[in-house]
Amino acid sequence: MSGGDKLDFEIRPNPAPVSATDRAALLANPGFGRVFTDHMVTIRYADGKGWYDARVEARAPIPMDPASAVLHYAQEIFEGMKAYRAADGGVTMFRPYANAARFNTSAARMAMPALPEETFVDSLQRLIEIDREWIPDVEDGSLYLRPFMFASEVFLGVRPANEYLYAVIASPVGAYFASGVRPVTVWVSPDYTRAAPGGTGAAKCGGNYAASLAAQAEAAEHGCEQVVFLDAVERRFVDELGGMNVFFVYDDGSMATPPLTGTILPGITRESVIALAEAAGHEVRERPVSFAEWQADAASGRLREVFACGTAAVITPIGEVRFPDGEFAVADGEPGPVTMALRQQLVDLQRGKTADPHNWVHRVL
């Protein structure tokens, strides 16, 4: 990286920001990923030069040549996290260094350059500082942050690019579920898989999500909100949902979640849930869980709760499971006590409402 281990950001305030009145109207019902703030961060990279030209500038379209490498060879990665209004009026982020580390793990898998973790977190802080008024001051409101990087070199040829653009945009968001937390219905895909051993399943790259869209559409056709993927080798074991990790809660208080074997995304919410559950006295086992086991344990009553977790919805209870041969419910199909307790713990931690023994909360302002 040019200039040593730390980049100086050039601040170029938006000359025509959204007015306070218009911003308030947008924040009244922002939805998810539909409204964006006034600014963005950009940093460029070139082989032999490193990272350079770090800016906070007006959010605007990114000029792109038709031969830009990302359009042809899909070298692209991203992250997702949130900034919150804290109970004392300040602003917090939740485990941004974990996102920074995962970003670089994804970069390595996609043959892209690493971005120093301090620069990653600094880029988020700079954007939050200039756009802090965009953080919704409502229950469950937050500022969703989307750092991403793509190959910007202009060339045609199958090799890692020599030039990249890193950027961060931000979107104010409200509650993921407008009507409150409710159990979702999921579809177990019989034909599609998300990733295979040795593939890019553990990387947060756009291609993984593009590959899930047909299966997600299939789920919607069957009246389901989410798709469940089984493993690509035996088509027996649960991997993850379309964009979330999954947990199983049993009648003895123990929990299970599929192991990180390279085919599923190592979720930061997933890792946090494991730590919180163990601290609360639950035994958490990272082990393969077959779909047949899921169905049998739901029928016997041994399985009491199932939930998915991720940045957007935090923790989402799963109430009903559909598949080509039928359907079944988990317990009574209602959110369970373990699911809801863990969700509340996470929400309170993220917003600085409770003690933080893990030092997960990063103070921004």
- Cα 155 from chain centroid? 31
Measured N-to-C along each axis, helices 96-109 and 268-279 cross at an angle, to the nearest 10 degrees, of: 130
Looking up tokens 């964006």, which residue turns up?
A: 36
Using DSSP bridges, classify how beta strands 284-286 and 76-78 pair: parallel, antiparallel or unpaired. Answer: unpaired
Half-sphere exposure of 46 (CA within 13 A, CB side): 8
CB 164 within 8 A of CB 107: no
Handedness of CA 132, 133, 134, 135 (dihedral sign): positive
Of the candidates 6, 49, 82, 204, the residue annotated as catalytic is 204
DSSP string, 121-185: HHHHHHHHHHTGGGS--STT-EEEEEEEEEE--B--SSS--SEEEEEEEEEEE--SSTT-S-PEE
Strand stretches in 223-312, DSSP E? 226-230, 238-241, 245-250, 255-257, 284-286, 303-310
CA dist 350 and 287 (Å) reads 28
CA dist 226 and 208 (Å) reads 15
| Residue 49 annotated as catalytic | no
First to last CA, the chain: 27
Q: Which residues are catalytic?
A: 204
